Amino acid sequence: MKKNLVLAFLVILIAVASCSFTNKSFENDDKDKLLLDLITYVLERGHYEPKDIDDDFSVSVFEDFINVIDPTKRYFLEEDIMEFEQYKFQIDDQIKNTEIGFFSQVYDRLMLRMDEATGIYKEVLEEPFDYSKEETIDIDYNEQYYATTKNELKERWRKQLKYATIGTYDGKIKNDGQKKEDDSSYELKSSTDIELEAREVTLNTLNEFFDFVGDMERKDWFVQYINTIVDEFDPHTYYFAPRDRDRFNIGMSGKFEGIGARLQKKPEGAKIVEIISGGPVWRDQKLEVGDEIIKVAQDGGSAVDIVGMRLDDAIQLIKGPKGTVVDLTVRRVDGTVEEISITRDVVVLEESYAKSATVLKEDKKYGLINLPKFYVDFEDYTERNAATDVAKEVDRLKEEGMEGLVLDLRDNGGGSLKTVVEMAGLFIKEGPIVQVRSSGSDREVYEDKDERIQWDGPLVILVNELSASASEILAAAMQDYKRAIVIGSKQTFGKGTVQNVIPLENIVRGNEFGDLGAIKLTTQKFYRINGGSTQLEGVKSDVIVPDKYSYIDLGEKDQQNPLAWDEIPPADYEPWNGYIDYEATIASSNERMTGNPQINLIEQNAKWLKQQQEETTISLNYSAYKAEEEKDKEQSQYFKSISEYDSELTFQSLKYEEALFMEDEVLREKRKRWHENLAKDVYIEEAINVLEDLMLNNIRNAKVASVKG
């Protein structure tokens, strides 16, 4: 593999920046200006595709920053926005001149409006909500205008608070009814008392939220402004404040204390985008990807509404020491709302490592390797990495007599490029795996130069919309070589870029401000060996099968400011010649999937979930609210039959793992649960069907049959 030029490029960048910033003169209390100047410098000279900081850039920063700090339009008035508009075409000039007038004015006004908001919500919550009234709320805040008067703003708060309270009101009525069922002597509360209790819950939630926000410092808001500027370059370039960088480093170390879920900021709350195997959420099986956390409480305490809260601040509330309990109010993908209690624990990323199983179908045995990420110890590559681990699992599966291999890359968000190249080399004799280009540089072709083939039998790769970056490189390479058949979503995530983390204090000579944090900077772009980028387009599956995410916006194309798709000349490679009729196998699989009742049911569910997300107008009339909730519950129950599917395949742990079960009951339970879920997985079932077809189409098998004949 050719030497990576990124390190040399960054060394030059840092050297030039050090000289450039030696003579910079700022007041000691003006760290913000230094930070703005420094980050802008790095972005303009180090980003893969620098943007022109012009009037268009200014407009984008203007709109995005206001949306970031007031996403539900419940603080600013229209007059505020009109006043801010004096800066709409000036932010680019302010950035170039290291001025922060726009930020300062917006910040000062926000503090004033948030102070006024405390009086508004307390006044609104003094009066009972009339749940018999026919009225609705539209929660698509992006399409709403700003309130023109304070009375109009108060009415907006009233509806938002009624919406925030109606679920609590409903829950208390249900709980009261359950108590009556359990104890006939119990006296039911009046609807008036229940309504009052529900309002008190919302009041406590808002009080805690505003207390929490009140503790934030000006520098915390400035980080939001910096990241609004940074985010204009692409969705994966990000500034880490010192505290954030520390958390990032902890995450990279392989363990942390929390609930074991990765979150994404949304206007409606914090959306779960990944569940970490082995963590509390994974063990409890109470939450799933797509659920949105809207309130957070500490072990039975008052809940804090995190809608509109910064993601980092919401995470601070959600995470905590091992053994403590956090209560999460969650809006499910299907629209239902419920409270889930999770006991925090040390989240060890052992389940991020490769694991395998044998799959028995009639008299045939196949292998399955699940790879959640392309992991590596950057301090010591020989310590543990995805490529060497997968190679070990392949050897173990061969010893157990597998006749075909499924490599499951679903939900694999990527990782180390080096491991991708080495892993691809397990399945081909030699040749290029991926092309990489830095800004202003010629392409580099990363190759497998080892002629050994770890596995030359039938190979299937499973992907979905959450398969990203390194997993897309591997799937694309195997697809281009026609070495494997890719089964999964219409396309993978579409992240075709690579980032490097640069500590900013290393760039400034004679730094008087201490830790300046770091910037995660997009510096390169990936390309398939056929020349096409994986950016935006991802990898198109050979056999397309729907899943619950098929119609939900999850990919790179749904992020803000993604880099564009493009292509470069293809690398020099020869397709794999180990299959007799590659295309016939794909056609046969597509035909099976088209008529599969389970697949049709999954697609129905995916379309229904999309429909639920698009319904942004919600009734604040309790009878209508209940009727809609019952309807959703009935539909949700209908789709639960998806999890009752039985593929009639048998899954077994490998012999070395069975020996470990004697001393590790937790591992035994994890594998048991994994096998149970695999048996319900129609995608695994089809992967095995494809392996059967590939066995018939495999040249090696054909030669063996010919010799026997």
Which percentage of the chain shows pLDDT scores above 70?
Answer: 90
Who contacts 487 (Cβ-Cβ below 8 Å, separation ≥6)? 460, 461, 462, 463, 541, 542, 543, 545, 589, 683, 686, 687, 690
90-103 pLDDT per residue, tens: 999 999 999 999 99
- Three-state DSSP string of 592-658: HHHCCHHHHHHHHHHHHHHHHHHCCEEECCHHHHHHHHHHHHHHHHHHHHHHHCCCCCEEECCHHHH
Q: Quick one: pLDDT band at residue 380, thresholds 50, 70, 90?
A: low
pLDDT at 24 over 70: no
CA atoms of 13 and 11, how far apart (whole Å): 5
10 Å Cβ neighbour count for 490?
14
Show the domains of the chain with their CATH numbers: 51-231 (no CATH), 238-349 (2.30.42.10), 353-496+533-708 (3.90.226.10)
For residue 9, the model assigns a pLDDT of 43
Is residue 28 scored above 70 in pLDDT?
no
CA distance 387 to 620: 54
Residue 184: band (very low, low, confident or very high) from pLDDT cuts 50, 70, 90: very high
State the amino acid at position 649 in one-letter form.
L
Question: Which residue do the tokens 């281009």 mark?
Answer: 480
Q: What is the mean pLDDT of residues 120-149?
A: 95
- 632-651: per-residue pLDDT in tens? 888 888 998 898 999 999 99
pLDDT of residue 289: 87
Query: How does pLDDT run across 381-435, given as a tens digit for each residue?
Result: 666 789 999 999 999 999 999 999 999 999 999 888 889 999 999 999 999 999 9
Distance, CA of 578 to CA of 697 (rounded, Å): 8
Mean pLDDT of 112-119: 96
pLDDT tens, residue by residue, 438-488: 987 788 999 999 889 999 999 999 999 999 999 999 999 999 999 999 999
The phi, psi pair for 306, rounded to 5°, reads -100, 5
Per-chain mean pLDDT for the chain:
88
629 has pLDDT over 50? yes
159-177 confidence digits (pLDDT tens): 999 999 999 999 999 999 9
What's the pLDDT at 376? 82
Residue 334: strand, helix, or coil: coil
- pLDDT category, 2, cuts 50, 70, 90? very low
For residue 88, the SS3 value is coil
Q: Is the pLDDT of residue 59 over 60?
A: yes
Listed residue (471, 525, 562, 382) closest to 6, CA to CA = 525
Between 269 and 235, residue with greater pLDDT: 235
Q: List, edge to edge, every strand of the sheet that includes 459-463.
A: 543-544, 485-488, 459-463, 405-408, 364-370, 355-361, 650-652
| Cβ 393 vs Cβ 357: under 8 Å | no
